[in-house]
Structure 1
Amino acid sequence: MSLDGSIDHWGTNPADAIGAALDAIETSLAGLLAMDPDYWRTSQKKDFLARVEKLQAQQAALRLRVLASSGDIAAETGDKDASAWMRAELVVDKGAARAQIKLATTVARYELVAAGLAEGVVSQDKARVITRALDKIKTDPIATGEDLVLAEKLLVEYATQMTANELRIVGKRILVEVDPVRFEEAEAKALLAEEERARQKTALRVWDNGNGTIGFDGVLPTAIGMRFKTLVEAWAQPRKQRLVEKGVPLPPWERLTGQGFARLIETIDPTTLPRHGGDATVVNVVISLADLRNELGTATLGFDETNGTTITAAEARRMACNATIIPWVLGGDSVVLDAGRESRFFQPIQRKALRLQQKCCQAEGCDMPPEWCDAHHLKPWAAGGRTDLNDGVLLCPHHHRLAHAPGYTHERLPDGTIRFTRRP
């Protein structure tokens, strides 16, 4: 009897059966792709999505089984695994291919996970989460083989009820469910160690994109990061709600949270910040006398034009309403003509009075609530305006920018509202 791998002991050719099965799958898919889901009944769409979700898990199970036994492909290509062939023939990034092969090898070690994939109740993403949690248990000095078996059983059961992300969170403390007495103290110690590592990893990078924007990224401990997320969303959500109420199309959520973050920064009270460099935390703005008078002028944040950041004079005037800034007005030869007084926020009692007088943004036709508005100086602070009630008006962030934009003029109407007009 031939020992050729393509012939089995029953005298049939597995390659033919595999090809026939794949042909049937391809034919069925082609038939489904020829249909237009717009004409499907709702019940058909729900049934389709549910069954395809299960089929995808089963397809992943089969794919991982083949990858786990792909050593002969690696032998043929001379690579340590089949990733080189996948890169060349399937145009899959080598890193992604190796990740798939690694998952295939790992799943093969866990019988219940592999069975869950084959049954379609554990997706590939969930299988990756479960195997990572189980691999970590293997290195736990307290955990036993029995603990590992029980943890795998629990996680596979949870996979039918939870998303992959929820499963990841549960997987971190699955041993506590296996045996609370033995593992609760160990979990507490592990959390302390994790929090300490998080503090060591805390980082923030800020850079100038050179196109009017600042880029930044970073890593925060979970507790601080969630507080940061909550604060940013607190400023983003009200704007979203107001837009929804007005029937205005919503911008992308990323833009709303970016705007929320900007508002969070603008509303920080400088008097509560630490002192550094001998001064309270302030922003120094260097501007020439001509630019101060010119609506299209520019200013520099910081003392040094080389190392500072250039902004428009209009933006500098807008900042003066919300931030503590010191304007340095220079003559033609960079002679300091005025080391202006430090500007201040409207005081809390003044803001309360403004809110009592002005129930919303005072721009004509705008109803943004007062708690989301800025207190604006009708006569710019940089031009000698005073921080008092007669000179103060509440404007939402959008109209506050217009108030300082060179392309618009504004006037106070007899009823106290502000009318904006685009310049010709």
Structure 2
Amino acid sequence: MSVENHVDHWGTSPRDPVATALAGMETALGELLAMDPAYWRTSQKKDVLARLETLKAQQAALELRVLATAGDIAEETGDKDASAWMRAELLVDKGAARAQMKLATSVSTHELLAAGLADGVVTRDKARVITNALNAIEANPVASNEVLLLAEKLLVGYATRLTANELRIVGKRILTEIDPVRFEDAEAKALLAEEERAQQKTALRVWDNHDGTVGDNHDGTVGFDGVLPVALGMRFKTHVEAWAQPRKQQFVEKGTPLPPWERLMGQGFARLLETIDPDALPRHGGDPTTINVVISLDELRKELGTAVLGYDETNGTTISATEARKMACNATIIPWVLGADGQVLDAGRSSRFFQPIQRKALRLQQKCCQADGCDMPPEWCDAHHLTPWSLGGKTDLKDGVLLCPHHHRLAHAPGFTHERLPDGTIRFTRRP
């Protein structure tokens, strides 16, 4: 029976089935919202959550059906399309509204998918994954209509037991599942093309946040973002997590509150950079990749001196002499000591960080961070020069001590002094 048979076009009929059904839904939802789930039985909560998932899928099915036939709304309001009306009247973001319209159009052309939504077995997210997979098959000149229909049937079936992300992976390989002999080569070519596109999208941006407080060049932080191919991106994530996880474990074992995971990941990334072997870096102009630190003799002698990363203050970044001394423990650095007139007094010596075999020996000897009371595992510690490199310290086992990143910073911080105790541990004391 059509809706028109019940509608009073003056808008006063109580027999409008659409309005009556919506009112019933609103009433039932209002009754549930008036209850406090804290007093529900566990079985009731599970039942509610499961049935709401089904209802959300059916609600999406209804919404997409209406949107697929909503061209008359734009005609009546003068909007470009229904998505523009959604933006103006429903305050839906333009991108989200257009995505909804696109999904509605796609679902309307796939009967099995539309039925899955209406039955509540295919969610909106899964419907979007399936339509993307089917659109790719439609664009494949080798795939026939029969193949498209079979792929739709299989994907709707998979949607009942897979998450949206799992379904996305299956969707990329569905043609191979249908006919391995026929589509395997095509899939391999498509995968290569996808990887090539990912390579073309690879990008990295780095910028100075200018949030420092000392001078124009002494900036606090650097921001960056980028895009990597999936395989490389997952390797990057794994490497950073390998450095972040031990820090998290330290907090857990000590029973102290955990910092935000993003901060741990940022600190893990910093540790990854600090431990890169210079020998593994590319060569520039015939020389190993190095960090040039320019510092005057007077600044070198100061407890609170400054230095420049680079070759001059115009093109470099100002850092503290303390930070320069800390970097000397972990990177290849060449100091350029200048006199009052800018003349090079000393081109210094390249100070390499401790070699892998030396680090292994230190781990065997010292077992953990040597700061008094710290038990950070040796794998996550820096090899620190007991006699500062700037004062002639050498990179050898007698002059090496393992310190975790926190205590390594304290060892170079002007606000702290440290001494070696008889048992070999290092005690830090804040200066008066």
TM-score per shorter chain, which class?
A: over 0.9
Letter in 2 for 1:374: D
Partner of residue 149, structure 1: 149
Tell me, yes or no, if structure 1 residue 258 matches structure 2 residue 266: yes
Q: Shift in Å at residue 291 of structure 1?
A: 2.9
Amino acid corresponding to residue 33 of structure 2 in structure 1: L
Deviation of 1:329 after TM superposition, in Å, equals: 2.1
Moved more, 273-282 or 10-19: 10-19
Q: Is the 8 A contact 1:6 1:14 kept in 2?
A: no
Task: Give the TM-score, by structure 2 length.
Answer: 0.92
Q: 1:244-255 to 2 correspondence within 5 Å?
A: 244-255=252-263
Matching residue of 2:225: 217
Q: 2:229 is aligned with what amino acid? A: P
CA contact (8 A) 1:374 1:396 kept: yes
Aligned to 1:119: 119
1:380 aligns with 2:388: yes
TM-score, scaled to structure 1: 0.93
CA-CA distance at 1:303 after TM superposition: 0.9
User: Are residues 10 and 300 of structure 1, via their aligned partners in 2, closer, same or farther at CA, if it must alter by over 3 Å?
Assistant: closer
Q: CA deviation at 1:389?
A: 1.9
Whether the 8 Å CA contact 2:326–2:412 is kept in 1: the answer is yes
Could you tell me how far 1:208 is from its partner in structure 2?
1.7
Q: Which residue of 2 is the match for residue 48 of structure 1?
A: 48
- SS of equivalent to 1:117: helix
Residue matched to 1:202 = 202
**1:6 offset after TM fit, Å?**
6.3
Taking the aligned partners of 2:98 and 2:200, their CA distance within structure 1 comes to 30
How far 1:15 sits from its partner (Å)? 7.5
Whether 1:358 aligns to 2:358 is no
Shift of 1:141: 0.8
Q: Which amino acid in structure 2 is aligned with residue 8 of structure 1? A: N
Name which of structure 1's ranges 244-253 and 390-399 shifts more when overlaid on structure 2. Answer: 244-253
CA distance in 2, matches of 1:39, 1:62: 32
RMSD: 2.1
CA distance in 2, matches of 1:66, 1:14: 22
Counterpart code for 1:258: G
Structure 2 residue corresponding to 1:232, chosen from 240, 254, 257 = 240
Q: In the comparison of the two structures, how many residue pairs are matched?
A: 420
State which drifts further: 137-146 or 282-291: 282-291
Deviation at 1:130, TM superposition (A): 0.4
State the 1:110 CA deviation: 0.8
More displaced 10-residue stretch of structure 1: 94-103 or 334-343? 334-343
Query: 1:323 — aligned with what?
Result: 331
Aligned partner of residue 383 in structure 2, secondary structure:
strand
Distance 1:76 1:11, change over 3 A: closer
Cross-structure match for 1:109: 109
Percentage of identical aligned residues: 78
Q: Alpha-carbon deviation of 1:311?
A: 2.0
How does 1:13-412 map onto structure 2 within 5 Å? 16-211=16-211, 212-412=220-420
Which consecutive unaligned segments of at least 5 residues does structure 1 have?
Answer: none
The alpha-carbon deviation at position 310 of structure 1 amounts to: 2.1
- Cα deviation for residue 201 of structure 1 reads 2.5
Distance 1:397 1:37 in 2: 47
Distance (whole Å) between structure 2 residues aligned to residue 309 and residue 46 of structure 1: 58
Which segments of 5 or more consecutive residues in structure 2 lack a partner in the other structure?
212-219
Cα distance in 2 between the residues matched to 1:341 and 1:63 = 71
Is 1:413 the counterpart of 2:421? The answer is yes
Q: Quote the Cα distance in structure 2 between the aligned partners of 1:294 and 1:41.
A: 70
* 3-state SS of 1:218 partner: strand
Deviations 1:250-293 (A, max 9, x none): 22222222222211111111012221133201111112333333
1:370 CA displacement: 0.7
Between stretches 13-22 and 268-277, larger displacement belongs to 13-22
Structure 1 94/14 Cα, relative in aligned 2: closer, same or farther at 3 Å?
Answer: farther
Deviation, 1:9, is 7.0
Q: Shift of the alpha carbon at 1:345?
A: 1.1
| 1:6-33 CA distance string (max 9 Å, x none) | 6327999697322232223223333333
User: Given the superposition, is the C-alpha separation of residues 293 and 10 from structure 1 closer, same or farther in structure 2, using an over 3 Å criterion?
Assistant: closer
Moved more, 174-183 or 220-229: 220-229
Q: SS where residue 326 of structure 1 aligns?
A: strand
Deviation string 1:160-187 (CA, Å, 9 cap, x unpaired) is 1111111111111110111111111111
Worse-matched range after superposition: 255-264 or 24-33: 24-33
- Provide the C-alpha distance between the structure 1 equivalents of 2:160 and 2:4, rounded to a whole number of angstroms: 39
1:123-165 CA deviation, whole Å, 9 max, x = no partner? 1111001001001100101101111011001111111111111
CA 1:314–1:45: 2 relative to 1, 3 Å: farther
Distance 1:175 1:45 in 2: 40
Decide whether aligned partners of structure 1 residues 327 and 152 sit closer, same or farther in structure 2, where only a CA change above 3 A counts. same
Distance 2:163 2:118 in 1: 18
For 2:204, what is the secondary structure of its paired residue? strand
Amino acid aligned to 1:72: D
Query: Partner letter of residue 234 of structure 1?
Result: A
Moved more, 233-242 or 185-194: 233-242
Quick one: structure 1 residues 293 and 39, their matched pair in 2 at CA, closer, same or farther if it must change by over 3 Å?
A: farther
For residue 108 of structure 1, report the CA deviation from its aligned partner: 0.6
Q: How big is the shift at 1:241?
A: 2.3
Matched letter for residue 54 of structure 2: K
Secondary structure of 1:7 counterpart: helix
Change (3 A) 1:138 1:330: same
Question: Kindly tell me: are residues 232 and 74 of structure 1, through their superposed partners in 2, closer, same or farther at Cα, counting changes over 3 Å?
Answer: same
Query: What amino acid sits opposite 1:243 in the alignment?
Result: F
